[in-house]
Amino acid sequence: MTPIAPQPAALARKKLPIGIQTFSEIREDNCYYVDKTGMAVDLVQTGKAYFLSRPRRFGKSLFLDTLKELFEGNRTLFTGLAAEPLWDWGTKFPVIRISFGAGVIAARQSLDQVLHQQLSHHEARWELPAAFVDLRSRFLHLIERIAAHTGQRVVVLVDEYDKPILDNIDKTEVALEVREGLKDFYSVIKDSDAHIRFAFLTGVSKFSKVSLFSGLNNLKDITLDERYSAICGYTDADVDTVFAPELPGLDRELIRDWYNGYNWLGTSVYNPFGLLLLFDTRKIRPHWFETGTPTFLIKLLQQRQVFTPDLSRIVASDTLLSTFDVDNIPTEALMFQAGYLTVDTVREMPGRMQLTLKYPNLEVQSALNTSLLQSLTGSLSLPGPQITQLYDLLRAQDFAGLKTLFHAFYASIANDWYRKNEMAGYEGYYASIFYSYFAAVGVEIRLEDPTNVGRIDMTVLFAGQVFLFEFKVVETNPSGSALQQLKDKGYADKYRALNQPIHLVGVEFSKASRNIVGFGAETLAIL
């Protein structure tokens, strides 16, 4: 990997807007800003009510604040931006913004309190007295009165619309009560259609149309609209232009491999928060992943005995990815909506769309599999040192050391964990452990890698080397068949054109000893 060429000295560095969700602060405080205002104008000119799902810390709040400033006509903030020549600055609209971004709502009573506080804020702003006790009537009447008071229809912006439910997703009874409260509150947006100029709701998850969304069926979902794939996040072009002053001294290819790749059928993007932290710390780390430990997700994957190698190649319909509810959480939908999987390929058929999912980048692959290993092995401290050791042994091509380490993977697992984690049988559990260690290292992995004569169980591309793995499960004694199959099938032929060292590695697991009993490795000469 070659460091990028130094940038011209004329490119002055600006303030990194880490954690800043206020459009005015970014524009007035000499911060870097990636212009999304053209998309904002396009949405307003072509529709009226929208919903957007994106993972946490993707810039949803900033986009909503941009819409707020746009409708309130604060033209000076948009000087030089795409929206400036496109917007009618002579007309201003009143904005009601509802946000659940701060704090945790632990009960229905807490939800009602938060909503009443926010409605009180808007009533005070427009000097309107509260006229109703119940939330639905109060919200409905507020919209009508503001429209009458200003002579303009109202703009309604809702940030993190689903967070009160997600805060309680592992407490079903509470989550259902909160969901019903939100459903009743949000139905006002549809019922107030005549008084609303524009509505935009954002969140992490899209709840089922038969539950929370049944009262919001007038919203246009742009989550999987290729035109708006980059509505939140930074593109490769943004990194190379807007953030050009930050790039000298960093490996551009490594940045792309570790942070780019989130995709919603269009242009792929980087998570803004993670990329900004990279520019701040100058270190490749799982910055985005570390901002929120997915405890519930890891528990769910373990409870459902998900075969971890399958996570990087899930196939699902677009409708399944939009199916999410308190008591119905498909693994695919949860992983996709939370940002741990993203779109790889698309197959369109009349009336439906089939998506193949993958990890968006090495950050998610590495960090998620580290968390999975902690769950699979029952140890928070064990995987870390072993992952580091695996990295060093791979780079050194030390196969004797790899055999010892592989054996240690399984010897360190208590017997009770085998009984709790019989994913797809013992074979699946062996493979999940093995795969997750390699994935946690942050290397390129190809599972069931196709050739003209069969499929390689696992291919690893790392440090200018190719490692081909074949796995076998035996009763007790090794047979040597795993390595022999790699040789007999000529699987290495697929990679000879790379002119890199190719290592054949056969691994055999014993059902009786619950560990590796056979391990053979052979390095092929470069032709």
Range of 177-186, 246-255, 469-478 with top mean pLDDT: 246-255
The CA-atom distances, in angstroms, between 33 and each of 52, 74, 79 are: 21, 17, 12
Residue 154 has pLDDT above 90, yes or no: yes
Residue 499 has pLDDT above 90, yes or no: yes
pLDDT of residue 440: 94
The alpha carbon torsion through 47, 50, 56, 59 (nearest 10 deg) reads: 30
Residues 336 and 357: beta-carbon distance below 8 Å:
yes
pLDDT of residue 1: 45
Terminus-to-terminus CA distance in the chain, angstroms?
A: 24
Boundaries of every domain in the chain: 34-223, 377-524
The least confident of 115-119, 254-258, 414-418, 502-506 is 414-418
What secondary structure, in 3-state letters, does 95-126 show? Answer: EEEEECCCCCCCCHHHHHHHHHHHHHHHHHHC
What is the H or E stretch that residue 190 is in?
Answer: helix 172-191
**Of 476 and 508, which is predicted with more confidence?**
508
What average pLDDT score do residues 215-242 get? 92
377-524, CATH topology level: Trna Endonuclease; Chain: A, domain 1 (3.40.1350)
The CA-atom distances, in angstroms, between 127 and each of 94, 130, 144, 145 are: 13, 10, 14, 11
Q: Which structure tokens are listed for 409?
A: 């993977």
What's the pTM value of the predicted model, to 2 decimals? 0.90
Residue 216 has pLDDT above 70, yes or no: no
Q: Which structure tokens are listed for 13?
A: 């560095």
Q: Distance between CA atoms of 187 and 124, rounded to whole angstroms?
A: 23
Banded pLDDT at 441 (limits 50, 70, 90): very high
pLDDT tens readout for residues 106-118: 999 999 999 999 9
Q: Which structure tokens are listed for 252?
A: 């551009």
The residue behind tokens 């592992």 is: 170
Closest CA to 367 of 389, 396, 387: 387
Bridge partners of residue 342, in order along the sequence: 358
| All residues at 6 or more sequence positions from 20 whose CB lies less than 8 Å from its CB, including other chains | 26, 31, 62
- The class of domain 34-223 in CATH terms is alpha beta
Q: How many CB atoms lie within 10 A of CB 113?
A: 12
Q: Which structure tokens are listed for 490?
A: 């000529």
377 residue type, one letter:
T
What average pLDDT score do residues 119-140 get? 92
The average confidence (pLDDT) of the chain is 90
Q: Distance between CA atoms of 360 and 358, rounded to whole angstroms?
A: 6
Q: Distance between CA atoms of 74 and 331, rounded to whole angstroms?
A: 43
Residue 211 has pLDDT above 80, yes or no: no
Strand order in the sheet with 352-358: 315-317, 352-358, 342-349
**Of 304 and 233, which is predicted with more confidence?**
233
What average pLDDT score do residues 482-498 get? 94
Residue 297 has pLDDT above 80, yes or no: yes
pLDDT tens readout for residues 283-296: 999 999 988 766 78
What average pLDDT score do residues 427-454 get? 86
Q: Distance between CA atoms of 130 and 109, rounded to whole angstroms?
A: 19
The gap from C-alpha 391 to its chain's centroid, in whole angstroms, comes to 25
pLDDT tens readout for residues 314-358: 999 888 887 788 888 888 998 999 999 999 999 998 988 999 999
**Could you give the angle at which helices 399-411 and 383-396 cross, rounded to 10 degrees?**
160
Same CATH topology for 34-223 and 377-524: the answer is no
**Of 112 and 382, which is predicted with more confidence?**
112
pLDDT of residue 424: 44
Share of the chain above pLDDT 70, in %: 92
The least confident of 110-124, 214-228, 256-270, 432-446 is 214-228
